[in-house]
Amino acid sequence: MTRRLAEVAKKVGVSEATVSRVLNGKPGVSDSTRAAVLTALDVLGYERPTQLRGERARLVGLVLPDLGNPIFPALAEVLGGALAQRGFTPVLCTRAAGGLSEADYVEMLLDQQVSGVVFAGGHYAEADAPHEHYHRLLGLRLPVVLVNAPSDAIGFPCVATDDAVAVEQAFSHLMSLGHHRIGLVLGPEDHVPSRRKLKAFTRAAKDAGLDIGPEAVERSLFSLEGGQAVATRLVRDGITGIICASDPLALGAIRAVRRLGMSVPQDVSVVGFDDSAFMNCTNPPLTTVRQPIEAVGRAAVTLLVSQIEGAAVTAEELLFEPELVVRGSTAPAKMRALAIAL
């Protein structure tokens, strides 16, 4: 007990006597200090006294996929900073192969009496994935916000980058450079953002009068290796411009071009999606569509805190417009490449 008091007091920056008053429900402690003590208990892994267990902690779960894609650590930083400014402590939960599942993390967060959860890149964006844990959170009325497009019938507030605009920007850029053999590398078939990108790609090709068939579209896991595998076939089939659904996929596409004895952008132009860290340092620097991570993350926190405070929030998905960042991985189509398309 003495050790617990000392650790919590040190964490909060108050005396052990103050911590003791909070734990025993005695007066003489401000609401903010009381909340800070309870949060410190949760963060340090101590069980709350029985009379205090019904109260929500000022903890917010951040459930993200493996942090191998640099866009997710960047998003976690924005979310964590915005939550801290509002007086909440983020609890980062990252999924990894062979590790805890999203459903496992939900149980853990519920045990910690979190005030809400932000999900990013989760199973909600996969139509065929298990969604029971989301429906459980709906039933508990726990504040939740999703980052990026959800599958149907998951009724949480959502903020997302506009996938259709992203593809339109990338497609128009390649067309302006004279590319008429344009391919698309997406995530798995049940991935909702990828479905949106495919729809926009098909519409853009039709509007441009290009006859682009299903053979111009490849699907992969979101990894460099996956991008390399599927881009190899696209390049062999004469594609001269490739739009990828993530920066790691785009880096894989660049590797595929090189392994075929060709070069980027002289022979094949490649466009990524995210503008994650260090994409301006690759060789060549990657042309990509930048997600407005700062705006998306702060909007997600605002929606979550509004729910926690009992305010009504919009049920409509908030879409944020991306920005095309032109660097060195795209260039005008060569005459030899143009001849392939004729």
Looking up residue 258, the CATH number of its domain turns out to be 3.40.50.2300
Q: Which of 60-69, 74-83, 220-229, 238-247 has the lowest mean pLDDT?
A: 60-69
Whether residues 175 and 286 share a domain: the answer is yes
Q: Which band of pLDDT confidence, cut at 50, 70 and 90, is reported for residue 52?
A: low
The torsion region of residue 278 among left (phi > 0), alpha (psi -120 to 50) and beta comes to left
Whether residues 214 and 305 share a domain: the answer is no
The predicted-structure confidence for 217-228, as pLDDT tens digits, reads as follows 999 999 999 999
Whether residues 307 and 270 share a domain: the answer is no
What does pLDDT average to over the chain? 90
Q: Which H/E stretch holds residue 118?
A: strand 116-120
Separation between Cα atoms, residue 273 and residue 191, nearest integer Å: 15
For the cut 90, the answer to whether the pLDDT of residue 57 exceeds it is no
Quick one: what percent of the chain has pLDDT higher than 70? Answer: 93
For the cut 70, the answer to whether the pLDDT of residue 55 exceeds it is no
Q: What is the CATH number of the domain that holds 48?
A: 1.10.260.40
How far from the centroid of its chain's Cα atoms is residue 131's Cα? 18
| Domain ranges, residue 145 | 59-161+292-322
Instruction: Please provide residue 196's backbone torsions phi and psi, each rounded to the nearest 5 degrees.
Output: -65, -40
Whether residues 213 and 296 share a domain: the answer is no
Instruction: Give residue 1's pLDDT.
Output: 58
Q: Which of 61-75, 81-95, 247-261, 327-341 has the lowest mean pLDDT?
A: 327-341
At 166, the amino acid letter reads: A
Whether residues 185 and 274 share a domain: the answer is yes
Q: Which H/E stretch holds residue 174?
A: helix 163-176
Instruction: Give residue 6's pLDDT.
Output: 85
Whether residues 238 and 115 share a domain: the answer is no
Instruction: Give residue 335's pLDDT.
Output: 54
Whether residues 307 and 220 share a domain: the answer is no
The predicted-structure confidence for 149-187, as pLDDT tens digits, reads as follows 887 778 899 999 999 999 999 999 999 999 999 999 999
Q: Which band of pLDDT confidence, cut at 50, 70 and 90, is reported for residue 50?
A: low
Q: Which band of pLDDT confidence, cut at 50, 70 and 90, is reported for residue 109?
A: very high
List Cα–Cα distances, 135 to 23, 106, 139, 140, 147, in angstroms.
34, 11, 6, 9, 17
Q: What is the layout of strands, in order, in the sheet containing 217-219?
A: 217-219, 182-186, 241-244, 269-274, 287-290, 323-325
**Overall number of domains in the chain:** 3
pTM listed for this prediction:
0.82
Separation between Cα atoms, residue 147 and residue 6, nearest integer Å: 38
Separation between Cα atoms, residue 144 and residue 134, nearest integer Å: 9
